[in-house]
Amino acid sequence: MSRNPYLLAADDPERLLALLQEDRSLATGQDEHGYSLIHAAASYNHLDLLRKLVRDFEVPVDLRDEDGDTALFVIETVEAARVLVEELALDPNIKNDEGVTASEKIEAEEEFPAVAEYLKALGGSFVTTNGTTNGTTNGDLSEPLSLPPAPEGLQVRVGTMDETEIGDLQADPEIRRRIEELATREDFQSPEGQAELRRLVMEVIAGQELSGERSVRPRQG
């Protein structure tokens, strides 16, 4: 039987995982067109394989092919999109070499309208299942957050974060202090700084204490 990892990713995920246990370096490989196992698993809707590639084999979820497409550009189901975005924190706002996002490309191809609608609904930010809010940010907390629909059972109150109306942030000077402190740090624009900011903002809009960690249940299709 074939030991081609890309064929196994499409047809036999279990054999692929066994092969990767023998040679973990195969997990991050890409063919001459930049096609990766991440792309294959997402395209063929092998969601458990997708999770294991990222979590167990530490494959970057944002791998791009020769056209600059991430795995989001090749998916065919909303379930695959949710795993990539909500569980594995792949940014849906990434643009390929043509300057379009996955939602724009999928919408233009008119093959998987439900996927395009889901990605469009995310707007500029998205909530992952570990409770962090991801998306583009320029460090200006006066801009309102754009979030997808809240998970069932979670009430989210969103408003502009300014001096006069900042909801729970105004009621908790410690949260305000920590966010302002983050904004003045030299590494504020680094992935670590932005991740910490998003955690704090999510705690505010979800009404959680700074010391707690919240796990958001994945939305069911």
Q: pLDDT tens-digit profile of 103-161? A: 999 999 988 999 999 998 886 555 555 545 555 433 333 333 333 444 444 443 333 33
The share of the chain scoring above pLDDT 90, in percent, equals 51
Which of the four pLDDT bands, split at 50, 70 and 90, describes residue 170?
A: very low
pLDDT of residue 56 exceeding 90 = yes
Asked if the 5-122 domain carries CATH number 1.25.40.20, the reply is yes
pLDDT greater at residue 88 or residue 220: 88
Tell me the C-alpha distance between 129 and 217, whole Å: 6
pLDDT greater at residue 176 or residue 86: 86
The share of the chain scoring above pLDDT 70, in percent, equals 61
* CA 102 from centroid of its chain's CA atoms: 13
Q: Which one, of 82, 119, 87, lies nearest residue 104 by Cα?
A: 119
- Interior angle at CA 154, CA 158 and CA 198, nearest 5: 50
Q: Which one, of 137, 169, 131, 166, lies nearest residue 151 by Cα?
A: 131
Mean pLDDT of the chain, nearest integer: 75
Predicted pLDDT of residue 155: 41
* Residue ranges per structural domain of the chain: 5-122, 133-206
* Beta carbons of 146 and 213 less than 8 angstroms apart: no
pTM: 0.59
Tell me the C-alpha distance between 124 and 147, whole Å: 7
